[in-house]
Amino acid sequence: MKNYTNRRGGIYRSRDGVFLGVCRGLAEYFDFSVFWVRMAIVVTFMLSGFWPVIGIYLVAAFFMKPKPVRPIESDEEHEFYDSYVHSPRNAAQRLRKKFSNLEKRIRRMEDRVTGKEYEWERKFNS
């Protein structure tokens, strides 16, 4: 299951990271130690200077999606998570539509069960 979220879903920012979770997210994706990823960032910082490393780090944090709170188990969940991360408003509209359809189905079932025809059929069949 971990491979599904890491490899198939892409690189995620970790929710347990120190600063925006980029280093921990990269370490989890590539299966490295977080210590070595952070050391690579520090060494790159020392060799190249302040702005390039900070700029790349912030760009990475901006483009990396946050790791899902609950592990993704299916393609449908992965699709929903991607749609939510890119547009929470569209995801909320999808959920409203889905629950609206469920409510309509429940109302039809209630109408059927509480109707007089159902009562007559039940009495006739018993």
What's the total number of domains in the chain?
Answer: 2
Asked whether residue 80 is domain-assigned, the answer is no
Is residue 2 located within the same domain as residue 55? Answer: yes
Is the pTM higher than 0.75?
A: no
Q: For residues 37 and 1, state if they share a domain.
A: yes
75 is a domain residue: no
| Between 117 and 36, the higher pLDDT residue | 36
The letter for the amino acid at 20 is L
Tens digit of each residue's pLDDT (9 = 90 or more) over 23-57: 888 888 888 888 988 888 888 888 887 778 888 88
pLDDT recorded at residue 109: 85
Residue 98 lies inside a defined structural domain of this protein:
yes
Query: Is the confidence at residue 113, as pLDDT, over 70?
Result: yes
Position 70 pLDDT exceeds 80: no
Domain match, 91 and 65 both: no
Write out the residue range of the structural domain in which residue 23 sits.
1-69
